[in-house]
């Protein structure tokens, strides 16, 4: 049974043998031509690489760092989105985080992580923004970690049943008495 099938294949191949070899030869010629072109391109790139290695390394490092930072920021946003309500405007959150980072000299990733601490407590978007801003203000004024000020503010909110506006007012009052800000 298999022998008949193999013989039939063999006969079909032998009949098309000349055409088959002709096509293989054309493929080989095209492959040789492509290899020559790639070699020329490779040689040209090596020449360019010799002259621009120093500048290329610095540029590549800068681009790599920027891509990593953007990726880390996006990952922090994704982590925040996981704990925020569905109706959260992530674009608004990202803009607020970047603005706070610029205003307080922190990284946008650190600001997003601080926002996540508030979001994990069930705070909504505007509360998260106000409370993160207050936590950053207090952290800067008292030279504390943002996570630490978030913990203190959480205690104040829970102990005294205060709103985000109340907490913002308290932080403003605390900062008014700080002699390092004058």
Residue 182: the pLDDT is 37
Residue 103: the pLDDT is 93
C-alpha–C-alpha distance, residues 156 and 116, integer Å: 18
Least confident of 51-65, 73-87, 125-139: 51-65
C-alpha–C-alpha distance, residues 20 and 97, integer Å: 66
Cβ neighbourhood burial of 111 (10 Å; 0-12, 13-18, 19+): buried
Top-ranked range on mean pLDDT: pick from 11-25, 35-49, 95-109: 95-109
Q: For the chain, what's the residue count?
A: 182
Answering whether pTM is above 0.85, one says no
pLDDT classification of 125: cutoffs 50, 70, 90:
very high
CA 114 to chain centre: 17
Residue 119: the pLDDT is 93
Residue 179 has pLDDT above 70, yes or no: no
Mean pLDDT confidence for 10-33: 62
Place of tokens 């829970």: 158
Mean pLDDT confidence for 46-58: 56
C-alpha–C-alpha distance, residues 23 and 103, integer Å: 69
Mean pLDDT confidence for 134-150: 89
User: How far apart, in Å, are the Cα atoms of 48 and each of 1, 51, 143?
Assistant: 62, 5, 50
DSSP 92-125: HHHHHHHHHHHHHT--HHHHHHHHHHHHTTT--H
Mean residue pLDDT of the chain comes to 77
Mean pLDDT confidence for 71-87: 85
């Amino acid at each position: 049974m298999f022998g008949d099938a193999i013989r039939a294949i063999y006969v079909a191949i032998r009949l098309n043998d000349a055409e088959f070899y002709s096509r293989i030869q054309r493929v080989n010629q095209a492959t040789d031509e492509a290899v020559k072109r790639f070699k020329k391109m490779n040689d040209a790139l090596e020449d360019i690489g010799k002259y621009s290695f120093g500048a290329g390394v610095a540029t590549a490092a800068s681009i790599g760092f920027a891509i990593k930072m953007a990726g880390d920021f996006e990952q922090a946003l994704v982590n925040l989105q996981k704990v925020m309500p569905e109706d959260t405007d992530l674009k608004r959150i990202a803009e607020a985080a970047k603005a706070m980072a610029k205003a307080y000299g922190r990284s946008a990733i650190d600001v997003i992580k601080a926002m996540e601490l508030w979001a994990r407590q069930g705070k909504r978007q505007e509360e998260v923004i106000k409370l993160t801003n207050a936590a950053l203000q207090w952290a800067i004024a008292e030279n504390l970690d943002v996570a630490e000020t978030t913990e203190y503010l959480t205690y104040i909110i829970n102990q005294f049943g205060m709103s985000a506006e109340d907490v913002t007012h308290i932080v403003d009052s605390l900062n008014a008495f700080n002699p390092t800000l004058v």
